[in-house]
Copies of this chain bind each other. A is one copy, B any other.
């Protein structure tokens, strides 16, 4: 792909061509250096889409909820971009057909573009790739983006925070809050949704949430709202959609949204820089292998001396690559 065809690809994404959109996403996912250059050409046109992060433990019903939300907003004439991030999945991105099958009721709707992402083959981490892929959907003209992540670890929490608003989905029974807390999800929620509200244990889960919120230093009126739903029946979905739009509008008006986006942007740039530095030192320069090899020769070894040596090698080999 030459620069000309790169610019052409971007133009075709802007024009709403699905295949171009998928190809540009693939560049982003692979961490192709050309993506960065292309992105620098279109970032000014981003930020129009509302971005909602949907996360929670496995089994909370996130996919069903995302599908129901998308259907709801489609009926209101909105266009959707969905990024489904599953780091445990063996499938890499681009499986367009598979994605469509996964959310059956959206399969034939051109107003919903779904992209699945998994860890494998993603350079620089899922958080970097997810930001870039979501930006492609924004460029593609989608007005509403849903980024669904399985809330299982620090990097997924980071992804969930990178949206304008983050919904943490839980369901009654099954040690749900336990898993959410282990993943650090409780801190990043702008809104809790207790899905599968027809299951026994609803009151107990809501009580647990309130207890945990009570441990924080927030005044009660600043606590994230707790909503309930039963997404398989569509119950509570309209309320969630309304609450999200309302919170988004409030924050846009108060300036909180701009502040959140600035925070997200700073984290993103830091992540890009640190990811490149880590990649350069440990992988591109092979110094991770050097470290492992040294350790395999047995301890004790000089921690400081070895780190100095690695830094010196890194700086020598990387004058301005």
**Which A residues are closer than 8 A to B by beta carbons?**
35-37, 39-40, 43-44, 46-47, 131, 154, 175, 177-179, 181-182, 184, 186-187, 211-212, 215, 258, 261-262, 265-266, 268-270, 272-274, 276-278, 281-282, 287, 291-292, 295, 299-308, 310-312, 314-316, 318-321
Closest chain-B Cβ to A310's Cβ sits at a distance in Å of 5
Can you list 22 A-B contacts (CB < 8 A)? Answer: A36-B305, A36-B307, A39-B302, A39-B303, A43-B301, A46-B300, A131-B303, A175-B211, A178-B212, A179-B215, A181-B181, A262-B299, A265-B295, A265-B299, A265-B303, A272-B303, A272-B304, A273-B281, A273-B307, A276-B307, A277-B311, A315-B319
- Please give, as numbers and ranges, the residues of chain B lying within 8 Å of A274 by CB-CB distance: 274, 277-278, 281
- Please give, as numbers and ranges, the residues of chain B lying within 8 Å of A315 by CB-CB distance: 318-321
Closest chain-B Cβ to A134's Cβ sits at a distance in Å of 12
The oligomer's copy count stands at 2
- Please give, as numbers and ranges, the residues of chain B lying within 8 Å of A316 by CB-CB distance: 320
Of chain B, the residue at the smallest CB distance from A187 is: B182
- Please give, as numbers and ranges, the residues of chain B lying within 8 Å of A308 by CB-CB distance: 36
Of chain B, the residue at the smallest CB distance from A36 is: B304
- Please give, as numbers and ranges, the residues of chain B lying within 8 Å of A211 by CB-CB distance: 175, 178
Determine the distance from Cα of A313 to Cα of B17 in the docked complex, in whole angstroms: 37
Q: Are B303 and A312 in contact (CB under 8 A)?
A: no
Known A182-B184, A269-B291, A311-B276: A300·B44 in contact at CB below 8 Å: yes
Determine the distance from Cα of A270 to Cα of B291 in the docked complex, in whole angstroms: 9
- Please give, as numbers and ranges, the residues of chain B lying within 8 Å of A307 by CB-CB distance: 36, 269, 272-273, 276
Q: Are A299 and B47 in contact (CB under 8 A)?
A: yes
Q: Are B281 and A277 in contact (CB under 8 A)?
A: yes
- Please give, as numbers and ranges, the residues of chain B lying within 8 Å of A154 by CB-CB distance: 154
Determine the distance from Cα of A44 to Cα of B36 in the docked complex, in whole angstroms: 46
- Please give, as numbers and ranges, the residues of chain B lying within 8 Å of A299 by CB-CB distance: 47, 258, 261-262, 265
Closest chain-B Cβ to A281's Cβ sits at a distance in Å of 6
| Complex partner residue of A43 from B266, B272, B300, B310, CB under 8 angstroms | B300
- Please give, as numbers and ranges, the residues of chain B lying within 8 Å of A273 by CB-CB distance: 281, 287, 307, 310-311, 314
Known A47-B300, A261-B299: A182·B175 in contact at CB below 8 Å: no
- Please give, as numbers and ranges, the residues of chain B lying within 8 Å of A212 by CB-CB distance: 175, 178
